[in-house]
Amino acid sequence: MVLGTYKEVVTARSTDKQIQKVSQDGGIVSALFCYALEEKLIDGAVVAGPTDEFWKPAPMVAMSADEIIAAAGTKYTFSPNVLMLKQAVRQYGLEKVGTVAIPCQTMGIRKMQSYPFGVRFLADKIALLTGIFCMENFPFVSLETFISEKMGISMELVEKMDIGKGKFIVETQDDVLTIPLKETHGYEQAGCKVCLDYVAELADVSTGSVGSPDGWSTVFTRTEGGETIFKAAVEAGVIETKPVNEGKFGLEMLTKLATQKKEKAMKEIDKRKGMGLPVPFKASSEKEDPLANV
Amino acid sequence: MLARIKEFLGLGAKPKEVSEEPKEVVSKEEVEKVAEEKTKPRIGYIHLSGCTGDGMSLTENYDILADLLTDMVEIVYGQTLVDLWEMPEMDLALVEGSCCLQDEHSLHELMEVREKAGLVVAFGSCAATGCFTRYSRGGQQAQPNHESFVPIADLIKVDCAIPGCPPSPEIIAKTVVAVINGDMDYLQPMIDLAGYTEACGCDLQLKVVNQALCTGCGTCAMACQTRAVSMTNGRPEVNSARCIKCGICYVQCPRSWWPADRIKKDLGL
């Protein structure tokens, strides 16, 4: 299954105007965390918060809706959120932690929960793991190259970054600049090339832009916990949903992109294994389903 | 159950050949098998050059400890736990601490464990990787010559390892339950980790970053028990002065080994 195991998939967005204004797409991550915080389903959430440097995020523990909303929006570079989970539990004393994670981060968290070798009293405190779709990630210097060098503008003028329709898109206050995605190739981090997960298959709830119209997100509910929280948020009116588009720009597009990512990664895994390099995933010849994340 | 584990690990008696014996014999064997399955595993705790932290971590399973000790396992040996001097036969021996090569008594005890235990577990990072006893170099009173400490797998065959400084209470509970249930799938990574004896924070660089595998997720920095790992520009940076060579950063990295099937099962996916 290229989209992982899930209970339901819908198109959704936050009904909160404040979230809609700052969110990357439908504001699902922000809406879920704000709702869960309010309902005391979580005591805080680890998010990719802003730093002194424009567009360079850092993991932070958000304890209020304001802090969660301040972290909204995609930053196309590293925010090692997983490391903050321990601080959330130890320094902040949280018992029920929410966290947002890209697929590789969900993999680190889930492995820690199944095999908590040195990680004490943390595994059962992850109350809501929200995963976001991820095709690839970039070192910060790659971003600087796209924006400062290729587009010729200063990072601090950027209001929003996006990847879609084959382009890397940057919005400033009065302009929209793009470069073809082709020009970003070679700037991705190498570790992404063996990643077999596009839609955060191991999250409680995963969400992303592909498959839904602008301003909306595609949302998968996967685990029982994830389904419960998402449904409650919809019932409470903080998230509105509509059926996911079954057509060309709905699940079909999502399936296509997920398949592409996985096929490319599988090829790279086989190639690296052929060179005798270590890869923690099985070669295509060892697997029943070559696109499974194993 | 233990027979199954022993068989899997190639210990004890060889598996019986396919029998063409009469049915009643088979059923008698089945009765014995059931009887064996009901036997509580005899667990020993052997304390070499360790700090008792691993044993303490075991006892931090407050919720299940009483049940574990009364109904599930029998602790038959262990300083601090059992008043017994002669090492008995054990199904499972948890060995804490590394072994000092200049201490005849430790060497003797380790050899004896291997003889008397069905399964030998390197319990905690000192036993598994040497951990911070890797930095020992002698020259201290009252035994200035006690300078060489090695993980126990350098001296005997180790069946599985539970690294951690200390291992979390949860992983100890999960391992014991897996042993009782004969859950070899769960134990497989620990069997594999018995071979991971030369651990260091620099493994993150050598075995992950250098191998084009790092994604900057931060799991290593979260896992490090001495806060020796930080993340700089999305890559782990190890403060070698703080690293105690426990191996946890690399063990927890999602790009060192990947138990996908187990995770999906645990999540109900």
Q: What is the pLDDT tens value at each position of chain A, 294 positions in all? A: 899 999 999 999 999 999 999 999 999 999 999 999 999 999 999 999 999 999 999 999 999 999 999 999 999 999 999 999 999 999 999 999 999 999 999 999 999 999 999 999 999 999 999 999 999 999 999 999 999 999 999 999 999 999 988 999 999 999 999 999 999 999 999 999 999 999 999 999 999 999 999 999 999 999 999 999 999 999 999 999 999 987 778 999 999 999 999 999 999 999 999 999 999 999 999 999 999 999
pLDDT recorded at residue A163: 94
Q: Do A105 and B217 touch (CB under 8 A)?
A: yes
Contacting residues for B97 by C-beta, under 8 A, at least 6 apart: B47, B48, B49, B50, B51, B124, B126, B127, B133
DSSP, res A2: T
Nearest-CA distance A82 → chain B (Å)? 5
**Core vs surface per residue A8-41: b (16+ CB within 10 A) or e:** ebbbbbbbbeebbeebbbbbbbbbbbbbbbeeeb
In chain B, alpha helices (H)? 2-8, 23-38, 53-59, 62-67, 104-116, 125-129, 169-181, 184-193, 203, 219-223, 248-252, 260-267
Mean pLDDT of chain B: 89
Contacting residues for A9 by C-beta, under 8 A, at least 6 apart: A3, A218, A219, A220, A221, A244, A251
pLDDT beyond 70 at B35? no
What does the block give as tokens for A253? 């597009």
Q: Do A115 and B217 touch (CB under 8 A)?
A: no
Which chain B residue's Cα is nearest to A275? B211
Q: Do A293 and B260 touch (CB under 8 A)?
A: yes
- Identify which of B161, B215, B221 has the alpha carbon closest to the alpha carbon of residue A107: B215
Number of helices and strands in chain A (H, E): 8, 11
The tens digit of pLDDT for each residue in B58-101 reads: 999 988 888 888 888 899 999 888 899 999 999 999 999 999 99
Smallest Cβ–Cβ distance between A80 and the set B170, B234, B257 belongs to B234
Angle at A244 between CA A243 and CA A248, to 5 degrees: 135
Which chain A positions have a beta carbon within 8 Å of B166's beta carbon? 118, 120
Do residues A191 and B214 lie in contact, with contact meaning Cβ atoms separated by under 8 Å?
Answer: yes
Which chain B positions have a beta carbon within 8 Å of A110's beta carbon? 263, 266-267
State the pLDDT confidence band at B153, using cuts at 50, 70 and 90.
Answer: very high
Smallest Cβ–Cβ distance between A190 and the set B166, B189, B212 belongs to B212
Cα(A67)–Cα(A59) distance, integer angstroms: 12
Cα(A265)–Cα(A268) distance, integer angstroms: 5
Q: Do B231 and A83 touch (CB under 8 A)?
A: yes
Q: Counting one residue from A and one from B, how many pairs have CB atoms under 8 Å apart?
A: 175
Smallest Cβ–Cβ distance between B219 and the set A112, A195, A277 belongs to A112
Do residues A280 and A273 lie in contact, with contact meaning Cβ atoms separated by under 8 Å?
Answer: no
Which CATH code fits B201-267? 3.30.70.20
Which chain B positions have a beta carbon within 8 Å of A78's beta carbon? 216, 231, 233-234
Q: Do A104 and B268 touch (CB under 8 A)?
A: no
State the pLDDT confidence band at B30, using cuts at 50, 70 and 90.
Answer: low
H/E stretch holding A292 reads none
In 10 A of CB A277, how many CB atoms?
14
pLDDT beyond 60 at B17? no
Q: Do B252 and A108 touch (CB under 8 A)?
A: yes
Architecture, CATH, for domain A138-187: Roll (3.10)
- Identify which of B215, B245, B43, B36 has the alpha carbon closest to the alpha carbon of residue B149: B245
Residues facing A113 on adjacent strands: none
Under CATH, what is the fold of the domain B39-193?
A: Rossmann fold (3.40.50)
- In A23-90, DSSP assigns E strands to 44-49, 58-62
DSSP, res B14: P
Nearest-CA distance B265 → chain A (Å)? 10
Smallest Cβ–Cβ distance between B222 and the set A85, A141, A202 belongs to A85
Smallest Cβ–Cβ distance between A104 and the set B189, B217, B246 belongs to B217
Checking DSSP bridges between strand A126-132 and strand A205-208, what pairing results, if any?
parallel
Q: Do B222 and A120 touch (CB under 8 A)?
A: no
Phi/psi of residue B47, nearest 5 degrees: -110, 105
State the pLDDT confidence band at B21, using cuts at 50, 70 and 90.
Answer: very low
pLDDT recorded at residue B158: 98
State the pLDDT confidence band at B26, using cuts at 50, 70 and 90.
Answer: very low
Cα(A120)–Cα(A111) distance, integer angstroms: 14
pLDDT recorded at residue B188: 97
Which chain A positions have a beta carbon within 8 Å of B254's beta carbon? 104, 107-108, 111, 280
pLDDT recorded at residue A186: 93
In 10 A of CB A288, how many CB atoms?
7
pLDDT beyond 80 at B226? yes
Cα(A280)–Cα(A291) distance, integer angstroms: 15
In 10 A of CB B155, how many CB atoms?
16
pLDDT recorded at residue B37: 56
> What value does the mean pLDDT take over residues B146-165?
98
- Residue of A110, A117, A205 to mutate, testing the B interface (most B Cβ within 10 Å of its Cβ): A117
- Residue of A115, A122, A192 to mutate, testing the B interface (most B Cβ within 10 Å of its Cβ): A115
